[in-house]
């Protein structure tokens, strides 16, 4: 599911389940799924927030449970923790009978308990919707490296929240070739790209929230209209050239060879 917009939608949906209760038990499908979870027992859940693609459950007294959904995870509240579906990989049982559960068919998602939030996100770049995501910061990060711009966007350092879909979409909107060395892109184009990142994530957040409102309809996946992602061979919306797929960093990058130089 998740790049930043989907993680944000999941987090907002979680918050609807407040007021929270005390954690009375925890469990996991495999030892690698969660670490230190049992230390959360006896603490109250006090809130849910997001940083980059991470979800944070804040607990009474200061500890947190950090959740990463990876490729296919979803974090939801179920009314009865005993009634878990087959793909629930980890759970926090609350003293009102409910459960906060990680559903994740692919089982790559992770939960980790931390005594404090301090230092947890030191390696993460600025939030795209925050005042810290300045053109100055973004340009400086790009100029530090010759790595392809698409990889820079996915590193969570120049900015957090972009994944394979929205990185490709932002680059299409900006008319920049995904393999272009970051430090060879003009300042003007970098500033334009920064704006498109914000725009793409904003539009994607809107559709992710809409998707999560519809009960039953599109609870999985989102309905953001992609221009290039997954459209290999199709005609570009702008110039009709055939969209291409190329490997980059072990993933598929989609782009328009004519619109993106």
Partner DNA sequence: AGTCACCTGATT
Partner DNA sequence: AATCAGGTGACT
Joined together, the tokens standing for residue 207 give 């559709």
**Sole binder of DNA in the list 99, 125, 126, 163 (CB under 7 A):** 163
- Write the Ramachandran bin of 64: left for phi over 0, alpha for psi from -120 to 50, otherwise beta: beta
Closest CB to DNA among residues 2, 27: 2
Shortest reach from residue 155's CB to DNA, in Å: 8
Q: Which of residues 105-144 bind DNA (CB under 7 A)?
A: 105-108
State phi, psi for 91 to the nearest 5 degrees: -150, 150
Q: Which of residues 47-106 bind DNA (CB under 7 A)?
A: 52-53, 68, 70-71, 87, 105-106
Upstream peptide bond of 21 is cis (omega within 30 degrees of 0) = no
**Per-residue contact string for residues 194-233; x = within reach of DNA by CB under 7 A:** --------------x-----------xxx-------x---
Active-site residue among 13, 51, 53, 231?
Answer: 53
Q: Measure the CA–CA gap between 184 and 121, rounded to whole angstroms.
A: 29
Query: Is 32 near DNA (CB under 7 A)?
Result: yes
Site size for DNA, by CB under 7 A?
34
Closest CB to DNA among residues 17, 124: 124
Neighbours of 231 (CB within 10 A): 19
Chain residues that interact with DNA, rule: CB under 7 A = 1-3, 6, 30, 32, 52-53, 68, 70-71, 87, 105-108, 145, 147, 151, 154, 156, 163-165, 208, 220-222, 230, 245, 249-252
């Amino acid at each position: 599911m998740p790049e930043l917009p989907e993680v944000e939608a999941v987090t907002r949906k979680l918050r609807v389940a407040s007021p929270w209760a005390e954690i009375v038990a925890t469990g996991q499908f495999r030892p690698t799924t969660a670490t230190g979870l049992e230390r959360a027992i006896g603490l109250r859940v006090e809130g849910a927030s997001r940083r980059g693609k991470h979800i944070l459950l804040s607990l009474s007294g200061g500890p947190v449970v950090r959740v990463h959904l990876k490729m296919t995870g979803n974090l939801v509240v179920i009314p009865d923790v005993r009634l878990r579906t087959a793909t629930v990989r980890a759970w926090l049982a609350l003293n009102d009978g409910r459960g906060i559960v990680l559903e994740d068919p692919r089982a790559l998602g992770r939960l980790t308990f931390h005594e404090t939030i301090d230092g947890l996100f030191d390696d993460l770049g600025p939030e795209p919707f925050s005042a810290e995501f300045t053109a100055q910061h973004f340009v400086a990060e790009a100029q530090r490296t010759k790595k392809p711009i698409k990889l820079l966007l996915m590193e969570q350092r120049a900015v957090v929240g972009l994944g394979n879909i929205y990185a490709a979409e932002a680059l299409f909107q900006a008319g920049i070739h995904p393999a272009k060395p970051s430090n060879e892109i003009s300042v003007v184009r970098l500033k334009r790209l920064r704006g498109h990142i914000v725009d793409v994530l904003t539009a994607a957040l809107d559709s992710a929230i809409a998707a999560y409102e519809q009960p039953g309809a599109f609870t999985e996946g989102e309905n953001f209209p992609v221009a290039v992602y997954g459209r290999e061979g199709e005609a570009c919306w702008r110039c009709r050239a055939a969209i291409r797929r190329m490997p980059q960093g072990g993933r598929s990058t989609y782009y328009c060879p004519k619109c993106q130089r």
